């Protein structure tokens, strides 16, 4: 194990012990307070009973004092239990991060299967989403915004508009977060504790998008005038008596009629408020945590400043947390009308519904348009935090160098696959600056893994994350792959046709004019050897361009022996194996040149199929 890994493991273990000790200390303190709280309650109860039985005020004051102490202890105990809950969540988060270093996916709940895109250029081939995928390994986003943002960055290599400046900006942010694991865990605890499900506040966004269904200004003035007239006539009727009480009664009946007339109209907005009201405090808490973080990276500072709005004046009042807190206070008023009796009293006493609707509409106009952008900032924070974990998982990894080249280029030193645990991974050097690298070798020797290693490290490089390599330099390229082929008998799709569709997608991507990296595993495996060789040659010629590089693995040695006549640039690499008394062994080390070895007969014999 390297020195950096040993240091990482030591830091992780020290933090685990510190969290465990902190949790035990708080639990003991909470247990002690619970006992004192119980004693105070029993003591206050006894003193109150003595007061009522003996009718002596000497028991009343101590009873009140002890009961006040009970109330104070309840409040303190509640805060301590909340802190204990947060430490418990931090323990779980830290244990999950320790599991990531061991590639123990069983302790990582979110594999992102729902984010998988069918017929994508490389997602399914390179294990980006799904069980034991890249997303499964690094994701710590708990909001829909964070999960979608991470998905977007992991799929950047399918875009024609990858920005080198954006990648470098993310690298700076990820590098800072990678060195502050405790901060990342604290921020994750905030989102995890406040967001109970992987969703977004759809009701709040719907409210922001549509104007409140309130009354016209003239109608509001009429309601206020009637309320004032009701009180004046009621006072006059109580003073003068008799028939004068008819006037306030008539106004009351008229008010009730108007309440009934407006009830359904108002209900549309108030029902929406009921749906997003529980989420306001949660998102406000998340915003508060992010607003108070001290960071140096310009990207992180920009996200933090985004939460305060674009105006430099009165930024405290425009912060996302304060904006949601203001809406929360309005919603508290609205909660009062949800009780039928209070609804009747409040709307008779004043135009309560209209006042609430006016406050909602005012908030929506002043703050509503900024909230979606600020919610998106949460997503970018979570995605950057997820990417930063690659630095923890691979402390001896590198931050890739993104080259300013118009032509495709890839070079890696001691590069490994991020989804293979450290004790099993074999690292290789690899360089490709033109044409196609033809990877040969016998079954199970490592050809497919090499293609996936190059592909997934390219994906990681564009996100701004650390890659498991000693050094990695590459230019900006689109990535397209044909590796994992699945037929579909229900739709009448054979393996060969399914592969043709993928190859056609790669050829189409090559015609866009942007640099391309293609990865093709065992091309046209579903057809006969001659068609496979001829078809592969056609594809290679189609993909021959200064702006295209690629890798192709094959068992077809006839393809490798074909005379290219300068029509295609090919470079050959291979994997090999060796036999001894203990059986067949692979070293998984990439070597120059073409392989001529086969092991199919040996493998058949190994599973019991002999001649």
386-408 b/e (C-beta count within 10 Å ≥ 16 → b): bbbbbbbbbbbbbbbebbeeeeb
Residue with tokens 């009796």: 341
The answer on 525 and 505 residing in a single domain is yes
My answer on whether 553 and 594 are in the same domain is yes
Residues 351 and 467 in one domain: no
Alpha-helical regions (H) of 55-163: 60-101, 134-138, 144-154
Give the model confidence (pLDDT) of 400-432 as tens digits. 999 998 999 999 999 999 999 988 899 999 999
Quote the percentage of the chain above a pLDDT of 90.
Answer: 42
Residue 136 counted as domain residue: no
Report the C-alpha gap between 93 and 85 in whole angstroms: 12
Asked whether residue 167 is domain-assigned, the answer is no
Tell me if 25 is assigned to some domain: yes
Output the pLDDT for position 315: 47
The answer for residues whose C-beta is within 8 angstroms of residue 296's C-beta and 6 or more apart is 176
Please say which residue of 386, 412, 427 terminates a domain.
386
380 shares its domain with 240: yes
Whole-number pLDDT of residue 500 = 85
Residue where one domain finishes, among candidates 102, 136, 169: 102
Inside any domain, residue 361: yes
Query: 308 and 291 in contact (C-beta within 8 Å)?
Result: yes
In terms of domains, do 377 and 430 share one? no
Contact criterion met (CB below 8 Å) for 487 and 498: yes
Pull the structure tokens for residue 289: 């945590």
Q: Kindly state whether residues 365 and 482 are assigned to the same domain.
A: no
Q: Say whether pLDDT at 312 is over 60.
A: no
Q: Where in the sequence is the domain holding 280, given as residue range(s)? A: 202-386
Q: Identify the weakest region by mean pLDDT among 128-137, 307-316, 342-351, 397-406.
A: 307-316
Q: Three-class SS of residue 89?
A: helix
SS3 letters across 584-596? EEECCCCEECCCC
Most distant CA pair in the chain: distance in Å?
118
Domain limit, last residue, from 59, 75, 102? 102
User: What is the distance, to the nearest Å, from the Cα of residue 563 to the centroid of all Cα atoms in its chain?
Assistant: 50
**Are both 548 and 587 inside the same structural domain?**
yes
Alpha carbon of residue 25 to chain centroid:
32
Do residues 406 and 276 both lie within one domain? Answer: no
What is the Cα–Cα distance from 371 to 325, expressed in whole angstroms? 12
Q: Is residue 304 part of a domain?
A: yes
Beta bridge partners of residue 479, listed in sequence order: 517
197 found inside a domain: no
> From the CB of residue 366, how many other CB atoms can be counted at a distance below 10 Å?
13
Q: CA–CA separation, 368 vs 366, rounded Å?
A: 6
Q: Are residues 408 and 360 in the same domain?
A: no
Cα 330 to Cα 210, 248, 323, 363, 467, distances in angstroms? 18, 30, 11, 9, 48
In DSSP terms, 552 is beta-bridged to 438, 520
3-state secondary structure of 317: coil
pLDDT per position as a tens digit, 118-160: 889 999 999 999 999 999 999 999 998 999 999 999 999 998 7
Do 382 and 438 sit in the same domain of this protein? no
Q: Write the CATH number for 547.
A: 3.40.50.300
Question: Does residue 427 share a domain with residue 346?
Answer: no
How many domains is the chain partitioned into structurally? 3
| CA atoms within a 13 Å half-sphere pointing along the CA-CB vector of 153 | 28
In a domain, 206, yes or no: yes
* Model confidence, pTM: 0.86
Give the pLDDT confidence of 97-106 residue by residue, as tens digits: 999 999 999 9
Question: From residue 201, how far is each of 144, 206, 275 by CA, in Å?
Answer: 9, 9, 9
Outline where 292-395 has alpha helix (H).
298-306, 320-336, 340-349, 352-367, 371-393
Radius of gyration of the chain (CA): 34
- Flag whether 126 is in a domain: no
For residue range 561-579, list pLDDT tens digits in order: 666 676 788 899 988 877 6
On whether both 459 and 544 belong to a single domain, the answer is yes
> What's the CA gap between 199 and 205, in Å, rounded?
12
Q: How confident is the model at residue 602 (pLDDT cuts 50, 70, 90)?
A: low
- How many Cα atoms occupy the beta-carbon half-sphere of 171 within 13 Å? 17
Q: pLDDT tens, 23-48? A: 999 988 888 888 888 899 898 888 88
């Amino acid at each position: 194990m390297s020195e950096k890994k040993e240091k990482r493991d030591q830091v992780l273990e020290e933090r685990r012990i510190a969290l465990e000790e902190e949790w035990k200390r708080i639990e003991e303190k909470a247990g002690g307070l619970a006992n004192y709280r119980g004693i105070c309650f029993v003591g206050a109860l006894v003193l109150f009973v003595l007061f009522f039985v003996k009718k002596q005020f000497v028991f009343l004051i101590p009873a009140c004092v002890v009961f006040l102490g009970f109330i104070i202890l309840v409040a303190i105990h509640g805060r301590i239990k909340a802190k204990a809950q947060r430490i418990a969540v931090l323990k779980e988060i830290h244990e999950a991060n320790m599991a990531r270093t061991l590639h123990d996916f069983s302790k990582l709940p979110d594999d992102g299967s729902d984010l998988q895109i069918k017929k994508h250029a490389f997602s399914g081939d390179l294990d980006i989403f799904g069980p034991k995928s890249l997303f499964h390994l690094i994701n710590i986003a708990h909001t829909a915004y964070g999960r979608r943002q991470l998905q977007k960055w992991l799929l950047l290599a399918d875009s024609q508009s990858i920005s080198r400046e954006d990648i470098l900006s993310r690298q700076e942010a990820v590098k800072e977060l990678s060195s502050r694991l405790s901060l990342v865990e604290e921020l994750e605890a905030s989102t995890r504790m406040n967001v109970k499900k992987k969703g977004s506040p759809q009701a709040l966004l719907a409210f922001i998008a549509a104007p409140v269904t309130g009354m016209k200004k003239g109608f509001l003035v009429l309601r206020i005038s009637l309320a004032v007239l009701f009180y004046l006539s009621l006072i006059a009727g109580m003073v003068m008596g008799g028939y004068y009480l008819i006037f306030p009664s008539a106004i009351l009946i008229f008010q009730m009629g108007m309440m009934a007339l407006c009830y359904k109209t108002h209900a549309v907005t108030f029902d929406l408020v009921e749906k997003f009201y529980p989420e306001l405090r949660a998102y406000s808490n998340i915003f508060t945590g992010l607003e108070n973080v001290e960071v140096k990276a310009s990207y992180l500072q920009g996200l933090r400043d985004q939460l305060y709005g674009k105006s430099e004046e009165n930024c405290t009042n425009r912060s996302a947390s304060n904006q949601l807190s203001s809406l929360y206070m309005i919603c508290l008023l609205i909660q009062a009308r949800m009780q039928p009796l209070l609804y009747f009293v409040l709307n008779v006493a004043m135009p309560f519904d209209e006042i609430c609707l006016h406050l909602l509409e005012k908030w929506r106009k002043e703050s509503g348009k900024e909230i979606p952008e600020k919610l998106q900032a949460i997503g970018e924070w979570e995605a950057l935090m997820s990417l930063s974990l690659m630095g923890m998982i691979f402390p001896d990894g590198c931050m890739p160098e993104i080259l300013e080249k118009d032509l495709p280029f890839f070079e890696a030193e001691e590069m490994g696959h991020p989804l293979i645990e450290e004790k099993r991974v074999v690292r290789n050097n690899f360089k490709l600056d033109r044409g196609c690298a033809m990877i040969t070798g016998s079954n199970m020797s490592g050809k497919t893994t090499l293609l996936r290693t190059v592909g997934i490290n390219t994906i990681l490089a564009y996100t701004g994350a650390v890659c498991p390599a000693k050094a990695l330099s590459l230019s900006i390229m689109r990535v397209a792959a044909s590796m994992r082929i699945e037929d579909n008998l229900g739709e009448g799709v054979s393996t060969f046709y399914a592969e043709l569709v993928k190859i056609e997608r790669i050829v189409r991507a090559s015609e866009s004019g942007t640099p391309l990296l293609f990865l093709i595993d065992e091309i046209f495996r579903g057809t006969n050897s001659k068609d496979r060789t001829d078809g592969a040659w056609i594809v290679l010629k189609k993909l021959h361009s200064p702006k295209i590089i690629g890798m192709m693995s094959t068992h077809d040695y006839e393809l490798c022996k074909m005379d290219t006549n300068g029509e295609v640039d090919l470079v050959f690499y291979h994997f090999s194996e060796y036999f001894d008394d203990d059986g067949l062994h692979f070293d998984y080390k990439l070597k120059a040149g073409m392989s001529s070895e086969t092991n199919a007969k040996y493998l058949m014999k190994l599973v019991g199929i002999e001649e």
